[in-house]
Each structure stands twice: as C-alpha cells, then as structure tokens.
Amino acid sequence: MKVPLLDLKPQNLALEHELKAAFERVLHSGQFILGPEVETFEQSVAEVTGTRHALGVSSGTDAILLALMALGIGPGDEVLCPSFTFFATAGCVARAGATPVFVDSCPSCFNLDVADARRRLTARTKAIIPVHLFGQTADMDAVLELAREHNLCVIEDAAQALGAAYHGRPAGSMGDFGTYSFFPSKNLGGFGEGGLLATNDDALAEKARMLRNHGMQPKYFHGMVGGNFRLDALQAALLAVKLPHLKQYSARRRENAAYYSGRLAEAGVALPAVHPHNEHIWNQYTVRVPGGRRDALREYLAARQISTEIYYPVPLHLQECFRSRAPEPLPVCEKLASECVSLPIHPDLLREQQDAVIEAIAGFRRS
C-alpha cells in the first residue's frame, strides 16, 4: 500500500470553498502586503501562541533573524543552539554576524541538553535558542533558569510546535520571542512561505514591527536598518481559514502517534519519549533504529511504497559551512543523525496505511 510521508490534498480540499472565498476577498481588496487580513490573522493566532503580540512574517527563518536583530545580537556575540535541528536555527545566528555555539541533545526527546549548554557558556554568550523539535517543547524550566542566571535572551524556535505546551504554557510564549513557520508541512501549513514572531514584550514587539518593514517609521524614514520580512495578505487570509482546525489536525496527529507507540513497542526501534508535562503536537514521529540498520529499514519501507524522511542526516556542527569552527564532538547529536527516521504521521493518514507501516517495520525485524 502506498503511504506518502505527507498528503496535503485532503486537508486543503476539505476547505476549498472557504479558501477560494478568502482568495476572492483579497483579490477584490487590492491590498496584498500586510494590512487588515494580516492583522486579523495575527489577532487570532495570538490566542494560540498565548502572547500579547504576534507578527506575521515572511518565513520561520526570517522570524528567527528578526528576533536576533530586535535583540541586538551581532558580531562578537555567541548564541547557544542545538546542533540536531533544521539549518535555519543556526544559519540565522551566523547571518546576524554572531557565532552559533552548538549544544548536544537529549537522546530520547531529541531536544537541547541544557546541562551541556551550561558547559558551553562564555563571557560572550548573549542568547540561547531552544528548538521545540518535532512538536515537543524543550526543557524550558531549565532553559529559563540558565537564562536568568546568565542574563541571556531566549528565542524559542517553535517552527514545528505551534499549539504545543509546556506545563500548560504555549510553546513560544516563555522566552523573549517565539518563532513559528507556516511551511506547508507544519501543523498549520500555508500555501507558500510564511512565519510568525510572537512576544509578550511591548518594546520588543514595536522594534520587531519596524524591522519587519525596513526599520521604516513613518514611511520612507528609517531609524534602523531592517529588512523585508512582511507577510502577504493572501497567505494570512488562507491561513486564517485553516487556523480554527489546527487543534483538530494536532489531535489527529496525537492519535496516530499513540497508535504507533502502542504497536511499535516490540518492533526493535526506539520510540520517541514524551515528557509528562509536555503537550506534544507531533509534527514528526521520529524513531531511532539502532545497530546501523536505519538506512536498510528506509530502503525496506521504500520498496513497499512507504515514504520516510531523515530529519536530520548531518548535525549542524558538522555542516561544511560551519566546519571552519573546528567542532568539538557532540556524541548524542551524531548518533541521532545516524539513527533517526521519521514515519508518516499527518492528520489524514488512514489506519490501513499506519498498519502497513507497522507491519513493514515488523517484517524488517524478521528479515
């Protein structure tokens, strides 16, 4: 049975009429960048982020860059971030002119190891970026304690975690900034590029709002150097149609995760751990395949038309562009990169498809 990693058609086509109506509304409005559609979406999504401010931006990557710029992080500064994450987290630190300092990860929940972050502090450390990887928040009590002790800014990279929670607190609402992505594969997936920057700090929100639009206030007067990080009105209007369904999309992913975890317990793969105080939204369901057999399992599944993906095959400290920094080994990240594989988990996955994945993994174990 064919099992794609992601199938966006059922989710989007179920809302076809509303999406077309939103498109027509924007078409007739003649306003295509920022404006009332973006403001309305920002107000609704701020209820999910649990923050006083939510700014629609051009991508999850730009949200991180904008946060760093608003916090004044640049040359000479060091920023702690995980190595086992998507490139954008550290790429933005380097683009801001600062130095990413890579931190090892937790082997069972895949998030930043805060004890390791503590060991890597220097007098130049200015910020920490916990990434809420695969839809589960990092250990934010420990992150916030470290930040308080050493006066660090905290940017939560919640690109994969809109709607997740930590001790009941929304992912992205606990640090100075939370950043989110609407890349189509995310739990709230858009129709192109889009992202969000959230904060509870009025002054930071004001600064980020200006930086989003070339540091311009009023028109054609530039008090600071910003960029074009604006969200399109069309993107906001379409995302606003999907936003009321986000809880249901994540609930379906949670059901699928529970089904996998129940049936893969004896399948010879290490299952993802969920910390009890975390509300996981399962942007990915990622297992570890020990004994150097991960790639063989992927091939076995691919031969049965089951798609999987490796998030992420090369930890960032070993990426070519960061190698000049003579990386220290990060043993957990390196192991995760060689053992992890993500299985289909999207909300429209059929039970028969999940059974096919589970049976194929069992078949691989017997092979």
Ligand X SMILES: Cc1ncc(COP(=O)(O)O)c(C=O)c1O
In the complex, the residues that contact ligand X under the rule CB under 6 A are: 59-61, 85-86, 88-89, 131, 157, 159-160, 181, 183, 195
CB of 123 to ligand X, least distance (A): 28
Report how far residue 288's alpha carbon sits from residue 339's, in angstroms, rounded to the nearest whole number: 5
Q: Measured from the CB atom, is 26 or 88 closer to ligand X? A: 88
| Residue number with CB closer to ligand X (242 or 297) | 242
Q: Mind giving me the DSSP string for 130-192?
A: -B-GGG----HHHHHHHHHHHT-EEEEE-TT-TT-EETTEETTSSSSEEEEE--TTSSS--SS
Which CB atom, from 58 or from 256, has the smaller least distance to ligand X?
A: 58
Least distance in angstroms from the C-beta of 184 to ligand X: 9
Name the closest residue to ligand X (Cβ). 60
99-103 and 125-128 beta bridge pairing: unpaired
List Cα–Cα distances, 323 to 98, 317, 331, 362, in angstroms. Answer: 16, 7, 16, 39
Report the residue number, 61 or 199, with the smaller CB distance to ligand X: 61
CB of 62 to ligand X, least distance (A): 7
Q: How far apart are CA 338 and CA 180, in angstroms?
A: 27
Of 59 and 256, which CB lies nearer to ligand X in the complex structure?
Answer: 59
Smallest separation (angstroms) from ligand X to the CB of 150: 23
Closest approach of ligand X to the CB of residue 197, in Å: 12
Tokens describing residue 318: 């070993």
Q: How does DSSP assign 26-88, residue by residue?
A: HHHH---BSSHHHHHHHHHHHHHHT-SEEEEES-HHHHHHHHHHHTT--TT-EEEEESSS-TH
By C-beta, is 58 or 125 nearer to ligand X?
Answer: 58
The size of the chain, in residues, is 367
| Closest approach of ligand X to the CB of residue 260, in Å | 21
d(CA 181, CA 158): 8
